Amino acid sequence: MTRARKLVVLSVLLTAAAVVAASRPHHGTSAAHAEARAYFVGDFDTGDLTQWRDFHDAHLGSSPPGFEVVASPRYGGAGYAARVTVLDRSDSSVGGDLSMLWDGDGGNSYELPYLQNGHTTWFRIQFAIPDGTRRSFPGKLTPSPGSWAIIYTWHTNPYRVPTAYSSYLGIRWGRNRRKEPPSLVFRTVGGKGDGTKALLYQTDGAPQKPRNRIPLRYNRWYDALIRITFGPTARTGSVRWWIDGVEQTPANCPTIAVASDGSTPGVGHEVGFYRGPSQPYADTMYIDGVKAGPTAAAVGVRSLTRSQDPAHASRVDCRSTPSSP
């Protein structure tokens, strides 16, 4: 083979190698996103509670226990979920009744890196609310006018900021069932003192007005995706959230509290069922698929729908929006 031909062959081989290399993920941002792994997985698919370590609010010794891993009902076609039961317990909570699982080992709940000021973290959970009419969803949640229920919460550190409330995904029941049907809500809390609060109802992209609230649906699974940027001001904190793939009203609001010394302690990551006020009867719900990670893909969501235009138009901005309860 002549020298010229050798150079041509070498050039062809180098070009082919470059094409192959270009078709592979790069070791920059895209690779990081493609290979990102969840920070935490608590989806109960081990068939028990071994993915969790902090049970101080779980009431596992009660009858029935606060959490039971079950094969049915569950989200999707395989695996397990958790049945959550709350009772009127004297040691449950001063504001209501709860059964909750915490991320962490019991000693580092507020110190996990992905729950600190400046971090953006994605969270995912599936949950179902039974009303006692379907055998496939045993148990019942009894509505109570003017009450609330917390399913997923980012708990403000009470040792550092004792006056502050916490952000949560949950349910609110209005006092007038016809005009204010129960609906999913996301409450953001952060900043100084008892916190700046914004209450966002599920409206599937429509403006935040009572007539646009989506009524709660029983005996079916919801799939919630939440993206939180932890920050103590409306310029640094934000929330985006999706219900069943539909983006809800996003918010530029504080999402982490400021302590009296000016520091911003991390939040706790907990799931389950916390109702208020206390009730004399048992309530039941189901949760599944709890995950936290650096990207949507890390928590199992490969594609996202863009916000509907009305949602963009009605974005809540706590710099110009009064605090809500």
DSSP assignments along 212-243, one per residue: GPPBP--SSEEEEEEEEE--SSTTT-EEEEEE
For residue 195, the enclosing domain spans: 40-317
- Total domains in the chain come to 1
Identify the CA nearest to 272 among candidates 131, 152, 134, 115: 152
- pLDDT category of residue 2 using cuts at 50, 70 and 90: low
What's the number of CA atoms in the CB half-sphere (13 Å) around residue 316? 30
Q: Is position 30 within any domain?
A: no
Helix H or strand E encompassing 22: helix 3-23
Secondary structure class of 1 (helix, strand, coil)? coil
Asked if 115 and 266 touch (Cβ cutoff 8 Å), the reply is yes
Q: Is position 194 within any domain?
A: yes
- pLDDT category of residue 96 using cuts at 50, 70 and 90: confident
Looking at per-residue pLDDT, the higher value among 40 and 77 belongs to: 40
Please state which of the ranges 5-19, 35-49, 237-251 shows the lowest mean pLDDT: 5-19
Helix H or strand E encompassing 170: strand 167-172
Q: Is 284 left (phi over 0), alpha (psi -120 to 50) or beta?
A: beta
Q: Is position 93 within any domain?
A: yes
∠212-75-62 over CA atoms, to 5°? 100
How big, in percent rounded to 5, are the helix, strand and coil portions of the chain? 15, 30, 55
Q: Is position 32 within any domain?
A: no
270-300 confidence digits (pLDDT tens) = 999 999 888 889 999 999 999 999 999 999 9
201-223 confidence digits (pLDDT tens) = 999 988 888 889 999 999 999 99
Residue 62 backbone dihedrals phi, psi, to 5 degrees: -75, 170
Q: How far apart are CA 225 and CA 218, in angstroms?
A: 19
Please state which of the ranges 104-108, 198-202, 250-254, 304-308 shows the lowest mean pLDDT: 304-308
117-144 confidence digits (pLDDT tens) = 999 999 999 999 999 999 999 999 998 8
Q: Is position 79 within any domain?
A: yes
Q: CATH number of the domain that 57 lies in?
A: 2.60.120.200
Q: Answer whether residue 324 shows pLDDT above 60.
A: no
Helix H or strand E encompassing 286: strand 283-293
Q: What pLDDT score does 148 carry?
A: 92
- pLDDT category of residue 241 using cuts at 50, 70 and 90: very high
Q: What pLDDT score does 320 carry?
A: 55
